[in-house]
Structure 1
Amino acid sequence: MSLPPHYKITTTFWKRNYEITGPQSTSTSPSIFVENSQLKPGKPDLTFHAANKEGPILALSRYKHFSSDIEIGLSEPQHGHRSVRWDSLHRDGWRSSRYRFTAHVNGRPESFTWHSTHKKSLRRGGSLELVHDRTGVVAAVYDTRCGLRSGDHVLTINTPADERFHLLVLMTCITLVEKRKRTEDASAAAASNSASASTAAAVSA
C-alpha cells in the first residue's frame, strides 16, 4: 500500500514567498514557487509557478476587500493566467474559520472544508485539516509541527486523486495560511499604533 503524498512547505527569506517540495517518491510532481504580491497592487495576491518564479503559472488567488470569500483559480500551464477559471473559497460566516471549496474527484463534484484542528490553531502557525463534507473523512492535514525549521511545514493529502486536485488542495491551504498571516500582521500593527498613540498622549498630558 502506497503512503499518502507529503508536501513540504517552506517560507522564503523575509517569510513572504513560499516554496513547495513534492513527494520524494514522485518524480512527476515538480516543486512550486508561490509569489506573494502583497506589496504589488494590481496583481493577484498569490501566484503559483511551476518550479520557480519564472515557471508557468499554475494557479492564482485573490483576497476580496468587501467579502469574506476568496477568489481561487487553476490554469493550464501553457496558457497561464489567461486560462484561469475563477472559483470561490467560501467562508462559512464572518466569524468562522471554516472555508469550503468544490472539486471534481473521480468525475463527480465533491465539497471540502478547511478548518482549524483546535483553538490554538487560530493563531499563526496553527495546524489545519481538510474534511470531505459528504463522508466526514479527513482528506488532508497541514501540520506546523513537522518541519526541521520554524518555517518548514508539511501538508499530507490522504485522498487518492489526480495532480490537479493536489494542486487545488495545496493552493487553498497556502491561501488560507497567508490570509491568516496578513490578518494577524494587521492586528499587531494596529495594536502597536494604538499603544504608541496612548503613550504619546500620556507623555503630553
Structure 2
Amino acid sequence: MGDGTDNAKRALRADLRERRQMMSQAAREAAAAGIHSQLDALVDRFGARTISCFLSTTTEPGTRGFVTDAVARGIRVLLPVTRTDGLLDWAVATPDGEIAEGLFGLPEPVGELLGPIALDEADLLVIPAAAIDARGMRLGWGRGFYDKTLGSMNHCPPVYAVVYDSEVLDDVPKDTHDQAVSGVVTPTRTIDFARVAR
C-alpha cells in the first residue's frame, strides 16, 4: 500500500471514529431501530435462512437487536470470531449465548467455533465498515479481516455493509486488496450496487 493511500485511510478513519464517538445516545438508538428495519427487509428480500452478522460495539450502527430478533425468527445467524492469523471463525448465535471481549476488544460469541468454511453456507453477509463510497468500495477499520474473508470466497453471497447515513461518501481511498460490497444499509435506506465479480 502506498504511503499516500495509507495516510488518507488513516485520516479518514480517525475523522469517522471521532464523529461516531460524538453521537448522542438518542441518535444511536434511533439509528439502531432504522438498521433493524432495513436489515429485516433485506433478509426477507433474499429469503435468507442463514446469514452472517457482526455484533455492534457501542459506537457502531446497532445490530444486536436485529441479531436477537433474527434468531427468534428461526434464522441461523453466524457471528464472527477474530483469529490471530487474520481470518475469521464463526459461531452460531443463540438466544442465551454468552458474549465476551475478543481480539481488539470486539464483542464476540463464546461457544463452538465452526471455522472459516462455515461462511459458505450463508445466504447473506452483513459486515461492518467505516465508510462506503458511491461505487460500493468499502473502507474498513484497517485490520483486513473482512477483505481477506471476502477475497477468499469462491461463491460469495450478497454482501451488505452497515454504516450511518453520513458515512456513504462519494469516494474512499482504496488499495488492490480492498473488497467492494453488493450494497450498503444505513438507518434510512438500503443501496444496491452493481454486482462485483469475485
Name the TM-score, length of structure 2 as normaliser.
Answer: 0.30
- Max Rg structure: 1
Bigger relative contact order, structure 1 or 2 (CA pairs below 8 A, ≥6 apart):
2
Bigger proportion of residues as strand: 1
Structure having the higher helix fraction is 2
The TM-score, its normalising length taken from structure 1, stands at: 0.29
